[in-house]
């Protein structure tokens, strides 16, 4: 982190719509607040499993609330999340592992594409309700984010390498080490210690704690 700037890490997975909200808000504030924002692509299912958590959608009442809540939040933050009626199935029926490995491969090789690429994955899955698990769909997302065919192909091949798999595992383990049990997990390194904030509705509190 630069002089006197607070390092803020965002642990996220593109299968999580709340992660999209936190991502967009932090992107907007990274030049207003005195922070260095660091994107940390991680694997939500791994965090949930290790922490003994269950997807909110598995509890029917909570699933119903989630759909209403996301509609309100999306409108408030002006992020084009469109919750399908079967949002629970939408999440539970998809694995984000291939997408998160691809994003990790780009993080390792061409991190300047991390922001637009992550955004396009959310757009495709949460705005257009299209698949993000198959290689051809991952390549389509990459193209949309401005990556060359050559770079996309290289990242796709790297996705199955031990280096990329281990990097994603390590980042996921790091989120857990900070106390994460779901995503988004936002960690602000302030006053010599990490402060964990869960969800996209604690960002005012984050600002307050780091003196913004």
Q: What are the distances in angstroms from CA 193 to CA 34, 100, 168, 178?
A: 17, 28, 24, 10
Q: Which of 16, 152, 159, 200 is catalytic?
A: 16
Q: Tell me, yes or no, if 19 is annotated catalytic.
A: no
As annotated, the active-site residues are 16
């Amino acid at each position: 982190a630069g002089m006197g700037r607070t390092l803020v890490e965002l642990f996220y997975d593109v299968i999580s719509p709340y992660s999209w909200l936190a991502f967009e808000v932090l992107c907007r504030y990274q030049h207003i607040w005195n922070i260095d924002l660091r994107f940390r692509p991680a694997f939500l299912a791994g965090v949930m499993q290790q922490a003994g958590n269950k997807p909110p959608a598995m509890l029917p009442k909570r699933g119903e609330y989630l759909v209403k809540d996301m509609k309100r939040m999306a409108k408030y933050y002006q992020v084009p999340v469109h919750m399908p009626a079967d949002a629970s199935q939408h999440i539970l029926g998809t694995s984000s592992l291939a997408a998160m490995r691809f994003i990790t491969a780009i993080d390792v090789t061409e991190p300047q594409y991390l922001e637009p690429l992550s955004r396009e994955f959310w757009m495709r899955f949460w705005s257009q309700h299209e698949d993000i698990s198959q290689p051809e769909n991952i390549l389509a997302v990459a193209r949309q984010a401005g990556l060359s065919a050559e770079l996309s192909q290289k990242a796709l091949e790297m996705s199955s390498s031990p280096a990329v798999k281990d990097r994603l595992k390590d980042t996921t383990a790091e989120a857990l080490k900070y106390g994460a049990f779901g995503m988004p997990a936002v960690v602000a390194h302030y006053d010599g210690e990490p402060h964990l904030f869960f969800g996209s509705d604690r960002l005012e509190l984050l600002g307050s704690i780091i003196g913004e």
